[in-house]
Amino acid sequence: MPQDTSPALAGLRARLQQYLQDELIPLEQSLGLGYEDKFARDLVKSVWKRCRELGFYGAQLPREIGGQGLSYRDLCTLKDDVAASGAILFPHVLGDWGGPSRIGNLIQYATPYQRDRYIMPVVNAERGACFAMTEPQSGSDATRLQTAAVPDGDDYIVTGTKHYITASMFADFAITMCVTDPARGADGISAIFIDLDSPGVSLVHDCVPMTGQYVDADIVFDRVRVPKKNLIGQEGQGFKIAMNRISVNRLLHCPTMIGLARQAFRLAVDYAKHRQQFGGPISRFQAIQHMLADMATALYACEHMVLATAARADAGEDVRDAASMCKLFVSERCFEIADKAMQIHGNVGVTKNHPVEFIFRRLRLYRIVTGTSEIQRNTIAKGILA
């Protein structure tokens, strides 16, 4: 990411680098962590706590609740930095997996009870949250949810299955999209906080992605009793709450992809300079140079597109279409960058658990997650033709 940052952000970035390089990566090495390990909840929570102490975890939150009030633009810079660092636990540093990113804009809807029980414990790195919308029969068409919340006195009885829910393995509760009025379609969907240790809740790990990471799970709700005071906002407001979050989320996935692609690019440059074939480094071949040139050009375009969109979001503009453009362009270009990095590495790049091989697999997921490339194109086209 560019160096035109404020002194405050430059200080935060320097402290972040120091933590990543001097503390987190050495800790991972001493524990022998691999990308596909099942991380103990205690380990993950200790990283959250440490990052909270250092001011990284939830840095984007408003100052009134203990954040740094970071703009989206500055947050993009930090997200790029952590993803590019090579740390295996990098998604926990700023609170992406289970942390403040999951509670997003909910503060504005939360009652005092919800703030104390759900929002502040996440802010303080004491509890983890996940966002549960997708179901086995409802993916891109998120208005066709089947998980039902049926009123019963002061409670709802929730029944249904949520599929592929990131960070559910570390979460204490799920922000769950439920149908409260089946006759009203999207306007009959409500958002409810559900504690994952409630009787009738179980996690099923039948969805390990191609990265082999143990982060996602299905959440099964079998007649789970949930107090009505856990309803977020009003009944029927859930879909709107989810969609508001999804636009910004689409944008905020981009710096993570860019950071991973940047890591692959750096590794490819280094490898090209050192790998000797036909009597010298492979970097002297124009074919290799052109791949590096294309990678650098794509990174530059992705980075500036995302920062420009983040600046517009900071200025209060509606960036729904631009966020979809970023998600589409960045996910597809970064995957191509990883593919080229793999090509430059030859057999080393396709060897299981080499960083470039892992990044290639990880970046492939982003063309599906938070709305597929096709759904982004639909959103962009809708904006054009409106």
| Contact residues for ligand FAD, defined by CB under 6 A | 130-134, 139-140, 164-166, 209, 216, 365, 368-372, 374-375, 378
319 alpha carbon, distance to own chain's centre: 18
Distance in Å, CB of 101 to ligand FAD, minimum: 11
| CA of residue 130 relative to chain centroid, distance | 11
Give the residue with the Cβ less far from ligand FAD, 52 or 367: 367
The single-letter code of the amino acid at 334 is C
Which residues have CB under 8 Å from 277's CB, separation 6+?
none
Q: The tokens of 237 are what?
A: 């407001």
133 vs 196 by CB, closer to ligand FAD: 133
**Least distance to ligand FAD from the beta carbon of 377, Å?**
8
Give me the least distance between CB of 102 and ligand FAD, in Å please. Answer: 8
Cβ count within 10 A of residue 146: 14
Q: Which is nearer to ligand FAD, 65 or 368 (CB)?
A: 368
Residue with the closest Cβ to ligand FAD?
Answer: 139
Contact between residue 140 and residue 169 where contact means Cβ atoms under 8 Å apart: no
Between 121 and 209, CB nearer to ligand FAD: 209
Nearer to ligand FAD, 73 or 362 (CB): 362
HSE, side-chain direction, 13 A CA sphere, residue 135: 19
The residue among 134 and 263 lying less far from ligand FAD, judged by its C-beta, is: 134
Pick the closer one to ligand FAD by CB: 121 or 139: 139
Could you give the C-alpha distances from 241 to 75, 235, 332, 380, in angstroms and in order? 21, 11, 27, 20
Q: Are 268 and 281 in contact (CB under 8 A)?
A: no
Residue 132 or 272 having the CB closest to ligand FAD? 132
Structure tokens at 294: 């294309």
Kindly list the distances between the CA atom of residue 230 and the CA atoms of 149, 150, 153, 170, 185, in Å, as whole numbers in the listed order: 12, 14, 14, 20, 21
| 145, 177 contact by CB (below 8 A) | yes
Give the three-class secondary structure for 366: coil
User: Which runs of consecutive H residues, i.e. helices, occur in the chain?
Assistant: 7-19, 25-31, 41-54, 72-84, 100-103, 112-114, 120-123, 238-274, 286-314, 320-345, 355-365, 373-385
- Judged by DSSP in three states, 219 sits in strand
The CB-of-189 to ligand FAD minimum distance in angstroms stands at 12
- Residue 170 CB, shortest distance to ligand FAD, in Å, is 12
Residue 323 CB, shortest distance to ligand FAD, in Å, is 15
Q: Which one, 60 or 176, has the nearer CB to ligand FAD?
A: 176
- Nearest residue to 256 (alpha-carbon basis) of 33, 93, 45: 93
288 vs 334 by CB, closer to ligand FAD = 334
- Nearest approach in angstroms of CB 9 to ligand FAD is 28
Minimum distance from residue 368 beta carbon to ligand FAD (Å): 5
237 DSSP assignment: -
Neighbours of 196 (CB within 10 A): 21
Q: How far apart are CA 172 and CA 122, in angstroms?
A: 10
For residue 337, the minimal CB distance to ligand FAD (Å) is 20
Look at residue 375 and give its three-state secondary structure. Answer: helix
Closest distance between ligand FAD and the C-beta of residue 50, in Å? 24
